[in-house]
Amino acid sequence: MSNGWEKWTDSEIANFQHDFLGWYQQEKRNLPWRYNQDPYRIWISEIMLQQTRVDTVIDYFYRFMEQFPTIQDLANAQEDKLLKVWEGLGYYSRARNLQAAAKQIMEEFNGDFPTTVEEIRELKGIGPYTAGAISSIAFEIPEPAIDGNVMRVVSRLFCIEADIAKASSRTFFDAAMRKIISQELPGDFNQAMMDLGSSICTPKKPQCEICPIQQYCEAYRENRQTDFPIKSKKQKPKDIYYVAGIIENNQQELFLQQRAETGLLANMWLFPLEEISENRFKELQEQYNPESWDLFSSSQVAEASPDFFAEQAIIWQKKVLGEVKHVFSHLRWHILVFYGRSAAPLTLDGHWVKPNDFSQYVFPKPQQKMLEIFENNLADDKD
């Protein structure tokens, strides 16, 4: 494989850095975590930005910093309060790792954020990219911060044919970045890479005509921009099928269940779920899908009780309220949502909760989607 970065002279590198950092100073995004070099703010933002769009993160960042303005506040936070602030961002292990790392900082670093790459890497939930971002932006250490955006930019810059889906390929991008990163302004350099990859050097239809480093780009010279980066297809997420029961009692309370302490969506609250086969899922879609219905009409109860939650005394409506699809990194959930009323005490583990009290419970995204479906059906029924 050609290592084009090794051919660059010191003069070429200096010119590249001058042009690139000049563009960044003029065009950099106005983001709340860029107001200063506080490592705590930078750390929180970088964790939030993993798998999440910048425009989504901004509001969450403000709320998070308002609730937990210091490392000590984060370390001492109640988990349910922490997860409630994080609610909707997904990948909740990120929030739990943040708190675990905050406790590490309090215990092992006397409450002061560590200042070396090696110490930062010791913190829970921090990998090479995040360590590079924090150390370069907060402490001006010339450490690369290599994420998907950076790999795309660098792969085009030097026509790197390494498969970015393979962990072993990071070696090439690390070597290239260490060659060209600014020693004086490494934080600005890394952030310039991030901004360029998100705004100009995009996965599809890169805007090469306005790219500040066009003249240095090997892929542009060879008209091969869309050949890079090289990425093998990742395995498709596994499909899992559920029915969900939105169950109401005579006190207008809804039944919620808490997930296990470990695993997917740990400790969060959802309407009861029951896994079914794909074939049964499709049968229920067809069987309980009349063209018109009234949510609370007694004439619309199921003539024959469905075979889910079979041991519970629940009167179900004929109609599927709606369908929820939610993709995790390795799973794709398909949920058919049903409404029912309890005719006797349930034997399921869980709590009856007034909808007005839902703000006290941490809901993951699938639960929020199910609740939205229910509320939309209620609104339609009142029209």
Cα–Cα distances in Å, from 111 out to 70, 274, 327? 9, 45, 37
Q: Is 194 left (phi over 0), alpha (psi -120 to 50) or beta?
A: alpha
**168 and 203, same structural domain?**
yes
**87 and 138, same structural domain?**
yes
Pairing outcome for strands 351-353 and 273-276:
unpaired
Question: How distant is the alpha carbon of residue 75 from its chain centre?
Answer: 22
Tell whether 251 is covered by a domain.
Answer: yes
Tell whether 357 is covered by a domain.
Answer: yes
CA distance 232 to 161: 12
Q: What's 187's domain CATH number?
A: 1.10.340.30
Angle, vertex CA 49, rays to CA 181 and CA 150, nearest 5? 30
Mean pLDDT, the chain, whole residue set: 92
Q: Is 180 helix (H, G, I), strand (E, B) or coil?
A: helix
CA distance 6 to 272: 58
Q: Confirm if 99 and 82 have CB atoms less than 8 A apart.
A: yes
* Segment 369-381, tens digit of pLDDT: 999 999 988 766 5
Residue 381, pLDDT score: 57
Lowest mean pLDDT among 35-44, 209-218, 224-233: 224-233
**242 and 223, same structural domain?**
no
- Which tokens go with 224? 């091969």
Residue 1, pLDDT score: 57
CA distance 380 to 318: 16
Tell whether 233 is covered by a domain.
Answer: no
- Tell me what the mean pLDDT of segment 154-167 comes to: 93
What's the pTM?
0.80
The number of folded domains in the chain is: 2
Please report which residue ranges of 297-364 form alpha helices under DSSP H.
none
Q: What's 248's domain CATH number?
A: 3.90.79.10
**291 and 221, same structural domain?**
no
Q: Give the largest CA-CA distance in the chain.
A: 81
Q: Is the pLDDT of residue 144 over 80?
A: yes
Tell whether 232 is covered by a domain.
Answer: no
Lowest mean pLDDT among 224-228, 260-264, 270-274: 260-264
**319 and 188, same structural domain?**
no
**163 and 261, same structural domain?**
no
**247 and 159, same structural domain?**
no
Residue 305, pLDDT score: 58
- Tell me what the mean pLDDT of segment 274-279 comes to: 95
End-of-domain residue from the set 227, 248, 265: 227
Q: What percent of the chain has pLDDT over 70?
A: 94
Enclosing domain of residue 317: 238-382
Residue 290's pLDDT band (boundaries 50, 70, 90)? low
**223 and 247, same structural domain?**
no
**163 and 26, same structural domain?**
yes
**152 and 75, same structural domain?**
yes
* Segment 79-94, tens digit of pLDDT: 999 999 999 998 899 9
End-of-domain residue from the set 177, 203, 227: 227
Cα–Cα distances in Å, from 189 out to 12, 165, 229? 16, 24, 20
**198 and 300, same structural domain?**
no
Tell whether 374 is covered by a domain.
Answer: yes
Q: Is the pLDDT of residue 47 over 60?
A: yes
Active site residues: 46
Length of the chain: 383
**261 and 152, same structural domain?**
no
- Tell me what the mean pLDDT of segment 113-135 comes to: 97
Residue 296, pLDDT score: 46
CA distance 202 to 199: 6
Pairing outcome for strands 238-248 and 331-342:
parallel
End-of-domain residue from the set 204, 227, 250: 227
More confident residue, 288 or 151: 151
Q: Is 15 helix (H, G, I), strand (E, B) or coil?
A: helix
